[in-house]
């Protein structure tokens, strides 16, 4: 059993946030569903931080333990095949056994995008 670190990207428009909630669609909940399809039977996925409802991410770090007998690329591909279209695993690494993204992070970066135009742009409406 290894601990894996992944880099997640997601369009948060249709999520109520990243942290698991019993009756709402969350990033953690969708990731756990995808992992269960790969044989994951653990209780916890560790996230680097929480995002609010509607917040997007291009580099959210998560970690989990999994008994996986294939390559890291195969794990990334298997996760992406089981995740919804508004989520993607960009990278997979083997992590230290006690790695916890929230506590082991050395920095965090946030980017806020504001579009201040006279007429709204429907193609950017969900992203600004």
Of these residues, 11, 14, 41, 52, which one is catalytic?
Answer: 52
Give the CA distances from residue 97 to residues 12, 52, 107, 122, in Å, rounded to whole numbers and listed in that order.
29, 28, 21, 45
Kindly report the number of other CB atoms within 10 A of residue 64's CB atom: 20
- Give per-residue burial for 3-42: e unless 16+ CB within 10 Å, then b: bbbbbbebbbeebbbbebeeeeebbbbbbbebbeeeebee
d(CA 60, CA 50): 9
Q: Would residue 67 show up in a list of annotated catalytic residues for this protein?
A: no
HSE at residue 54, side-chain half, CA atoms within 13 A, is 5
Residues acting as catalytic residues: 52
């Amino acid at each position: 059993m290894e601990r894996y670190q992944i880099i997640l990207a997601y369009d948060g428009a249709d999520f109520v946030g990243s942290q698991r909630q019993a009756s709402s669609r969350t990033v953690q909940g969708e990731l756990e569903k995808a992992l269960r399809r790969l044989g994951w039977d653990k209780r916890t996925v560790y996230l680097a931080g929480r995002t609010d409802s509607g917040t997007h991410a291009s580099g959210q770090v998560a970690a989990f333990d999994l008994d996986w007998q294939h390559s890291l690329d195969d794990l990334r591909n298997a996760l992406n095949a089981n995740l919804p279209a508004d989520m993607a695993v960009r990278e997979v690494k083997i992590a230290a056994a006690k790695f916890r993204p929230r506590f082991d992070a050395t920095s965090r970066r946030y980017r806020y995008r504001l579009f201040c135009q006279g007429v709204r742009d429907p193609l950017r409406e969900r992203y600004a």
